[in-house]
Structure 1
Amino acid sequence: MSKPICFYDIPGTSKAVAWSPNTWKTRFCLNAKGLPYKTIWVEFPDIEAVCTQIGAAPTGKQPDGSPMYTLPVLHDPNTGATVSESLAIARYLERTYPGPVALIPPALDGLVGDFQKAVWAAFGLPMMRLVVPAVHATLRPGARPYFRATREARFGQPLEELAPAGSALRAECWAKTREAAGVLAGWWDEEANTKGLVPRAAEEAGAGERTLLVSDALPVSYADAIMVSWLYWFRECLGEESGEWKTMTAWHGGRWVRLMAAMEKYAQVDSGESVQLSKL
């Protein structure tokens, strides 16, 4: 590789600047593989225009049937490839740059897509109600009107009504989100217990649980990047000092903080450069 990969991400006002769970998946992959790259920061209103400009494929359809463009997108000047969507990017990187870390072991390639969908399905709408309003506050001011308009159209109500502070609805959303995280914790523990890696007594005490999903002997896997990216989404949007985030860090004996710590060495964020097409 002679030229850095161009990685398209969405900027925010959080300490890390990066906040999106989907783009964090790609950032973890690039960092874990040690590939040189440059972040191209794209504001929300400019995503479609930038994607069409660089030839990135849409990742879905809008409610009216028109193409939907999302980030992350990766452009690799070394191969000429432009790839949309986090899982497709992870597979491209694994295929094109197989060393030094196998993010998607060959035997698990057919399952990783199902795992990504399962994580989303486990959290679902209750999580979205909690975090989407916080995303609005995390974005740079000029991008907020576009985000508000598009998300309120999608949900059919003002952002402030999705899960109002102090409401019974918000408490219910948090309870369901915690329950979903417990289901995911069980996947980690089931994998470990199947292989005899975690004594049941230690697991119940909240100690010695499996940290990384595929193997604690491997540096990282794409499955781990998926989960930690969701956790980063909560932290960066709710705020590291917020009471809700601090409560979340104590869930399930603090296991999710330990998973984040195991992945921290792959969480570097470069300064990159910004592209701005719209008048914000």
Structure 2
Amino acid sequence: MTEPIVLYDIPGKNPQYKAWSPSTWKTRFALAYKGLPFKTEWVEYPDIEGLCKKLGAPPTQKKRDGSPLYTVPVIYDPSTQTVVEDSWKIARYLDKTYPDTPRVIPENTGGLQAAYMSAFENAVSGHLYDLVVLAACNNLNPRSEEFFRTTREKSEGKKLEDIAPPGEEREKLLRAMYLGLNRVASWFDKNEGNGPFITGTSMTHADIATASRLIWAKVVLGEESEVWRAVVSWNGGRWDQYMKHFEKYEVLT
């Protein structure tokens, strides 16, 4: 590799953690874990579609109206002149292109990792989204904040302030998130203490996806927030210890 890989990411206003998006943290963690040099080019939400079209990165999803949806993470690898979109595809590309680095999707684990990530989404992510979406919006620069609010409120059919209002509704969401993470903790316990990760001793894309969701709450809500203080206290401090394994990969270049 002669030049660093370019990671396209959305900037936030947190002075300590400009990177905030759980989607792009998946790739940020993967690049750092593999020890691959990279640099960030920041792009605001309204500019993502134009950037992807310019780079030749295809849409990753479809909107509800059937039109293409362009998202980040996207990387450009100058060593191979390759553009890759979507965190899973990026992880596959990095494993294949740089085989002398730690693999995040080891051979024959793709299906199991995908199943775990789907189960984690069902158990935790919906509740987490509701708890952090307003703070995520408020963490954005003005152009992205307006774009984020408009698109999310259209999708949700309500104001962001009404998704998880303080009081009983927010307490219910926090309880539901606790029950979800408690279920996830029971899956980790099947390893019988043989390593801190879902597959045991080795960090994989599934772990990276888990940590990326949790760091989202830490960054946009803050370490002193009710939600984050609750998360790091649950399951005997398991998630606090879990996230410490990722601190050395919190590369913010």
TM-score between both structures, scaled by the size of structure 2: 0.95
Correspondence 1:213 to 2:198: yes
1:7-41 residue CA offsets vs partner (Å, 9 max, x unmatched):
11111012211111111010111001111111111
The yes-or-no answer on 1:118 pairing with 2:119 is yes
Counterparts of 1:23 and 1:212 in 2: how far apart (Å)?
20
User: 1:28-39, aligned counterparts within 5 Å?
Assistant: 28-39=29-40
**Counterparts of residues 229-240 of structure 1 (less than 5 Å):** 229-240=212-223
Deviation, 1:224, is: 1.5
**Matching of residues 95-174 of structure 1 within 5 Å:** 95-166=96-167, 168-174=168-174
1:268 aligns to what? 251
CA distance in 1, matches of 2:126, 2:214: 16
> 5 Å matches for 1:1-280?
1-14=1-14, 15-166=16-167, 168-190=168-190, 192-193=191-192, 197=193, 210-216=195-201, 218=202, 220-270=203-253
Cα deviation, residue 241, structure 1: 1.9
CA–CA separation in structure 2 for the residues paired with 1:78 and 1:114: 33
Structure 2: which 5+ residue stretches go unaligned? Answer: none
Distance 1:16 1:101 in 2: 25
- Report the 3-state secondary structure (helix = DSSP H, G, I; strand = E; otherwise coil) of the residue aligned with 1:106: coil
C-alpha displacement at 1:251, in angstroms? 0.8
Superposed displacement of residue 114, structure 1: 2.2
1:182–1:252 CA contact under 8 A, matched in 2: yes
Q: Is the 8 A contact 1:87 1:113 kept in 2?
A: no
Write the distance in 1 (CA, Å) between the matches of 2:158 and 2:97: 44
Measure, in 1, the Cα distance between the counterparts of 2:129 and 2:29.
22
Contact 2:23 2:72 in 1 (8 A): yes
The worse-fitting range, judged by mean Cα deviation, of 111-120 and 233-242 is 111-120
Cα distance in structure 2, aligned partners of 1:188 and 1:52: 40
Contact preservation (8 Å) 2:45, 2:143: no
Task: Give the ranges of 4+ consecutive aligned residues of structure 1 lying more than 6 Å apart after TM superposition.
Answer: none
State the Cα RMSD in Å. Answer: 1.4
**Structure 1: gaps spanning 5 or more residues:** 199-209, 271-280
Match of 2:239, as an amino acid? Answer: W
CA-to-aligned-CA distance 1:44-64 (integer Å, 9 cap, x gap): 111111111111111110111
Q: Is the 8 A contact 1:29 1:90 kept in 2?
A: yes
Question: What SS does structure 2 have at the residue aligned with 1:178?
Answer: helix
What is the distance in 1 between the residues matched to 2:208 and 2:125? 18
Amino acid at match of 1:23: T
TM-superposed CA distance for 1:263, in Å, is 1.5
| Larger Rg over CA atoms | 1
Once the two structures are superposed, residues 79-135 of structure 1 have per-residue CA deviations (whole angstroms, 9 ceiling, x without a partner) of 122111111111111111122312111021232222222221212432221111111
Distance 1:63 1:46 in 2: 20
